[in-house]
Amino acid sequence: MKERIKTFFLGRRLEDSELAGEKLNVLWGIPVFASDAISSVSYAGEEILLVLIPVLGAASYGKFLPIVAAIIGLLAILVFCYRQTIEAYPAGGGAYIVANDNLGEKPGLVAGAALILGYILTVAVSACAGAAAVTSAFPALLRFKAVIALALIVLLTWGNLRGLRESAVMFGVPTYLFILTMLALIATGLIRYMTGGYTPEEVHIATQSTNEALLFVILRAFASGCTALTGVEAVSNGVPNFRPPQQKNAKRVLLAMASFVCIIFLGVSVLISLYRIVPNEHVTAVSQLDAAVFGGGSAMYYAVQVMTVVILTLAANTAYADLPLLMALMANDGYLPRRLIFRGSRLNYSNGILFLFGTAAVLVVAFRGDQHLLLPLYASGVFISFLLSQLGMLRHWLRCRGRGWRYKAAINGFGTCVTACVLVIIVWMKFLSGAWVTLLTIAALVVLMLGIRRHYAAVSEDLQVDDPMEILRAPRSGKAILPVQSVNRSFLKALNCVRDIGFSEIELYHVCAEEESARRLRTQLESLDIQATFVYDVTHLRDTEEVLMRHIEAENGRLGPHEHLTVIMPKLVVMDPWKRYLHNQTTHRLIRRMEKYRNVYVFQVPYLI
């Protein structure tokens, strides 16, 4: 029954051999890896303006474009750096692998934790931003924003549990469509502006007077805008997915992707600046721009909004594809629960998918679907993984000293310095609004992962055996205890069973509230004429369970080093779940409690009603 419901929702169980991967060329590689990076365009510019406008008012637009330019410059540097990672790690060089390889266990774990957090936030932020695109188009839905974000996450989880084939076409078509609609938006917007078809209203914004130096405001805005860079590292993780020449194709995709991000981000930012868009809580900046260019309610307006939701959904989907893989890798190294290694019935890492679903959903609910509150947590985590990745590459070149290592080390060294500076800016500017949560979470995750690793190491050492013959020994008979309440069929079945197996000594043990009842039972048992001793305890505290456990504990204490004791537990089995409540779960609880005695074995004899 359970299996049938599962099959209905997820499809049939797949054979191991059905695990197949498609190899990508440049054309289809771009959309697969670019959705995360390109989708950031839909919120990054808005984040910058949200910092600038309350302080600078209409003067913000003068600072806006230089900040965008700085971020695009940063993007160029990262592209150069990651080209080198692609070269050095043809099997895929995520921050966890690069940091672990070159910097050691703890930096590796920090990078891993930052990545895990980053992927979770990718899903939460993308879902919320997607919901924002919906509510911008349909303001009546505003109070359901968190619900819409959750619905997107549920849909993604279901799709991924079913095992969405990540076909290149499925990703490619919508991504290219998004790029095209954005280019159309930019082109139309520029033409309308230049032909004078649109005159922005004069913006009169009440600014808050502040003592903050202008530099700080600009740094805060820059830190907010750095969310545009999330997802840049994706290509370097996925080198093995490309058709040969793998590394060359990967580099081309990286460059093309960066170009698209650059064009769209710059174009949209210029338009926002020209059209004097003022972001507000209810309508996103892109939606306002969209309405200004195409006219709210026009077909093209809705097309842009729809494509924004789609690209954000695809961005979240990359996290669904990558996080479970990363967690399986880390679980394989012993840092995460082992259940993350196993593939589910549809060959995906179902436990990782469910983990991602749970954490992202909690974030969306806790932050009530507000991406503006989630984004400060996001950028700091991403830049920690960037920094460790760069530092790892620098160390890599310094150690292996291949052809042209000085040049390569210089590039990654530069990358290290730049990402370190940016990270410092982000943490400094965003500390109170969220970066502290990121840092604390990463630290806690690292401690947890080290603990998990220690536990698994201890277990594996404990189970390890050099010479099995040393442990195997000659058979030795032992004593059995059979608790008895009354002479009924269940007890008699257990008694038959204990005699079948043949113990050297059988003890029938009884707990009662009155001596008298024990005496009656003794007479009954004597008439059965079996080779067994009868032992009983009297309690007036109605704590049969405790008395039995104390008896077992005492017997356990009396055991010699290589002796053992078997407790026979007759167990009433009721098949209807609701009827189970009508019987005390004492037997079940006792069996669990007896686990803790090393030399007490429990023999469970079912009696089906």
Residue nearer to its own copies on the CB measure, 212 or 543: 543
# binding residues, its own copies (CB under 8 A): 82
Nearer to its own copies, 286 or 445 (CB): 445
Q: Based on the shown chain and the rule CB under 8 A, indicate whether residue 495 belongs to the binding site for its own copies.
A: yes
Q: Dig out the tokens for 233 from the structure.
A: 């590292």
Select the span of 253-261, 269-277, 292-300, 467-475 touching its own copies (CB under 8 A). Answer: 467-475
Least distance in Å: CB of 110 to its own copies? Answer: 21
Is 606 a binder of its own copies (CB under 8 A)? yes
Tell me whether residue 176 or residue 534 sits nearer to its own copies (CB atom): 534
Cα–Cα separations (whole angstroms), residue 142 to 22, 147, 283, 381, 414: 40, 10, 10, 29, 45
Query: Which of 502, 557, 561, 577 forms a contact with its own copies (CB under 8 A)?
Result: 502
9 conformational bin, left if phi > 0, alpha if psi -120 to 50, beta if neither: alpha
Q: Which is nearer to its own copies, 414 or 456 (CB)?
A: 456
Q: Is 464 near its own copies (CB under 8 A)?
A: yes
Contact between 430 and 223 (Cβ < 8 Å): yes
- Closest by alpha carbon to 52, among 176, 221, 171, 234? 221
Sites for its own copies among residues 300-359 (CB under 8 A) = 337-339, 342-345, 347
Rounded-to-integer distance, Cα 356 and Cα 359, Å: 5
User: In the chain, what is the greatest distance between 2 CA atoms, to the nearest angstrom?
Assistant: 110
Asked if 16 touches its own copies (CB under 8 A), the answer is yes
Token output for 228: 């545009």
Chain centroid to CA 536:
54
Residues recorded for the chain: 609
Residue 452 binds its own copies, judged by CB under 8 A? yes
Q: What does each C-alpha distance from 443 to 36, 113, 337, 367, 448 come to in angstroms?
A: 26, 8, 18, 22, 9
**For its own copies, which stretch binds (CB under 8 A), given 49-57, 127-135, 159-167, 495-503?**
495-503
For the CB of residue 471, give the shortest distance to its own copies in the complex, in Å: 4
Q: Determine contact, residues 375/125, Cβ cutoff 8 Å.
A: yes
Q: How far is the CB of 513 from its own copies (least distance, A)?
A: 6
Q: Which is nearer to its own copies, 143 or 542 (CB)?
A: 542
H helices of 104-167, in order, are 105-137, 145-162
Contact 255, 78 (CB under 8 A): no
CB of residue 154 to its own copies, shortest distance in Å: 24
Q: How far apart are the C-alpha atoms of 170 and 359, rounded to whole Å? A: 26
Residue number with CB closer to its own copies (147 or 549): 549
Q: Contact between 5 and its own copies (CB under 8 A)?
A: no
Element of type H or E holding 181: helix 168-194
Q: How far is it, in rounded angstroms, from Cα 532 to Cα 482?
A: 10
Provide, rounded to whole angstroms, the least separation between the CB of residue 209 and its own copies.
39
Q: Least distance in Å: CB of 443 to its own copies?
A: 18
Query: Could you say which of 243, 282, 399, 455 contacts its own copies (CB under 8 A)?
Result: 455
The distance of closest approach from Cβ of residue 546 to its own copies in the complex, given in angstroms and rounded to an integer, is 8
Decide: is 605 part of the binding site for its own copies (CB under 8 A): yes
From 201, 476, 557, 560, residue interacting with its own copies (rule: CB under 8 A): 476
Using CA atoms, how far apart are residues 42 and 127, in angstroms rounded to an integer? 12
Q: Does 462 bind its own copies (CB under 8 A)?
A: yes
Per CB under 8 A, contacts with its own copies among 563-582 are 564, 566, 571-575, 579, 581-582
Q: Is 493 in the site for its own copies (CB under 8 A)?
A: yes
Interface residues for its own copies in 520-549 (CB under 8 A)? 524, 527-528, 530, 540-543
Burial annotation 147-171 (CB, 10 A radius, 16+ → b, else e): ebbbebbeebbeebbebbebebeeb
Nearer to its own copies, 237 or 350 (CB): 350
Distance CA(227)–CA(42), nearest Å, equals: 10
* CB nearer its own copies, residue 296 or residue 478: 478
